[in-house]
A and B are shown apart, each in its own frame.
Chain A
């Protein structure tokens, strides 16, 4: 028995979300028994031996020339083949863009059940139970698996990685054979958005703006606070629907569900669909002029006031703090 982890690489580097998955796999393997094995489809080894430091005892490099970038059909075959070879008790993916696209394909190929975007795993009497938010976080579902292995994808930023300094994973390279399905889809290009900008789902700190900003041009003060905090900018549905911000920025039930360390809601009243998407944040700050706004019910710290005065003052205070700590 073992726990298999899909290792996600982009541009030849293993992504942090896969180390989170390895961390949880290590904790699971301690209960279920067996080694933690990584499987990484790639065109070249992204340094898999080093994953020993993140908990992997073995790593399979599933190599094919077309696997430098994400290749859905190829990756699905490579990971399914690894599952059939390793016979793990559980298969973990990160619930990232790639993991969410890939895991259902592998599950369908292997006729297995899959739980998406899990926030907690438990082994009860040798049986794996996954906890996952549903209705964008308005409720949580506990699911069990009818057949082994259990397939799960893990929400980013929830599971802690482990550190095993000096450990190294035994790497085995497997050549993946070409398949007619490989020709049916092809990645033309990857367009990067603003350089260095973290994705909302993987951000430690998020500053979101809402209707209270009165216009798209006023998002500047949200961006300035975000810059000072090293945060990513989010938005409410109202301002996305109004075209002030792109949909990629939307937090809530028809946008992203986020769990940052710190979430600052600026001029957001707190509609139920927004609260659903951010209430699993570790610490919530709300700045709003309406003391009755529902956002204050979930905010650890609320500040009632005119955001056009409060936010720049907060930005200055954070900058001062940063200057003291340089």
Chain B
């Protein structure tokens, strides 16, 4: 079982967003970069599958978990995190384009993954920066493999992946033949912290650098803006005594009841 985990470096969720000087991307000054939280669930699941799957046919690449990330000069630190969590090796698809669109990223990833003979290709359900939720299913489409998105539970049974995914008011259980692509939701597992041993071992693992082949963009980011501020709230009152006034305001002023 060879697994590829596509990861993205994103701004920490506690980041206060400021618009950069170009007017259409995040001001990177002072930002803490992290592994996209949903990609952590993907990586963790891949590691657990590797750990419980006995190496069937030993040989080069057997049982490997390969982390791939696309981006600029800061990306290797995030790939190093993935290696410290337990990925076997990493590939950095290098680009200086700050906001490539999802299809460009998907093309570059698909081109790289095509040569890796992966059985499972993992993604997070979305990156918590641009929130597009596109790259996973796009890569699957380009590779012509089946894909389940927003996966909260996964089981492997004789050459098939059985995934549970959240939909409005319930869950779907879908069965996919391998190779398959999966995008991970929170709830799939509880990601591990990198151990000291893992961190030491990561230093000896390789991060292969390659240029990302993005192709032409299909989307153009025109502007990044801060949302209009909500008008300052007001405190209606203290304790139970303020409940009637709250109800009155909700009915008569906000017309929300």
Contacts and interface: CB of A to CB of B under 8 A. Distances in A.
Contacts of A133: 131, 227
A187 B235 CA distance: 50
B76 interface: no
Interface string B225-257: 111001011111111101110110111001011
Nearest to B251: A321
Given A97-B168, A145-B218, A188-B162, A297 B233 contact: yes
Interface string A175-213: 000000101111111111100011101100100000000
A41 to B, nearest CB: 16
B216 A146 contact: yes
Nearest to A255: B186
B150 A136 contact: no
B233 A286 contact: yes
A141 B221 contact: yes
Contact of B174 (A185, A257, A282): A185
Given A115-B219, A143-B222, A190-B171, A135 B11 contact: yes
A296 B232 CA distance: 9
A240 B185 CA distance: 14
Given A138-B227, A310-B243, A305 B238 contact: yes
A65 interface: no
Nearest to A71: B174
Contact of B219 (A134, A135, A145): A145
Given A104-B137, A108-B141, A113-B101, A187 B233 contact: no
B17 A104 contact: no
Contact of A253 (B13, B138, B242): B13
Interface in B3-53: 11, 13-17, 19, 24, 26, 37-38
A147 interface: yes
Contact of A298 (B145, B174, B219, B230): B230
B206 interface: no
B146 interface: yes
B148 A272 contact: no
A112 B102 CA distance: 10
A29 interface: no
B167 interface: yes
- Interface size band for B: 35 or more
A310 B240 contact: yes
B242 A303 contact: yes
Contacts of B238: 303-305
B211 interface: no
B222 A129 contact: yes
Interface stretch (A19-27, A158-166, A244-252): A244-252
Contact of A112 (B128, B218, B223): B218
B144 to A, nearest CB: 7
A141 B128 CA distance: 14
A167 interface: no
Nearest to A248: B166
B177 interface: yes
Interface stretch (A32-40, A45-53, A312-320): A312-320
Contacts of A105: 137-138, 140-141, 147
Contacts of B128: 135-136, 253-254
A255 to B, nearest CB: 7
Given A140-B225, A254-B38, A309-B240, A72 B147 contact: yes
Contacts of A73: 146
Contacts of A137: 227
Given A139-B224, A303-B237, A317-B243, A187 B219 contact: no
Nearest to B104: A113
A183 B169 contact: no
Contact of B239 (A142, A279, A306): A306
A283 to B, nearest CB: 4
B219 A113 contact: yes
A142 B223 contact: yes
A76 interface: yes
B141 A76 contact: yes
Interface of A: 70, 72-73, 76, 96-98, 100-101, 103-105, 107-109, 111-117, 129, 132-147, 181, 183-193, 197-199, 201-202, 205, 229, 240, 246-248, 250, 253-255, 257, 261-262, 271-273, 279-280, 282-286, 291, 296-306, 309-310, 313-314, 317-318, 321
Closest 9 CB pairs of A and B: A113-B218, A199-B168, A113-B219, A305-B239, A108-B141, A247-B187, A185-B146, A104-B134, A108-B138
Given A135-B131, A139-B226, A184-B180, 13 more contacts: A100-B149, A100-B150, A115-B219, A141-B223, A146-B220, A181-B144, A187-B172, A199-B168, A199-B169, A229-B257, A262-B250, A262-B256, A303-B243
Interface of B: 11, 13-17, 19, 24, 26, 37-38, 101-103, 106, 128-142, 144-150, 152, 162, 164-177, 180, 185-187, 216-227, 230, 232-240, 242-244, 246-247, 249-251, 254, 256-257
21 contacts: A70-B172, A72-B137, A107-B138, A108-B139, A113-B103, A113-B218, A116-B131, A134-B130, A142-B221, A185-B146, A185-B177, A248-B187, A254-B37, A282-B254, A283-B256, A284-B233, A297-B232, A303-B238, A304-B237, A304-B238, A313-B243
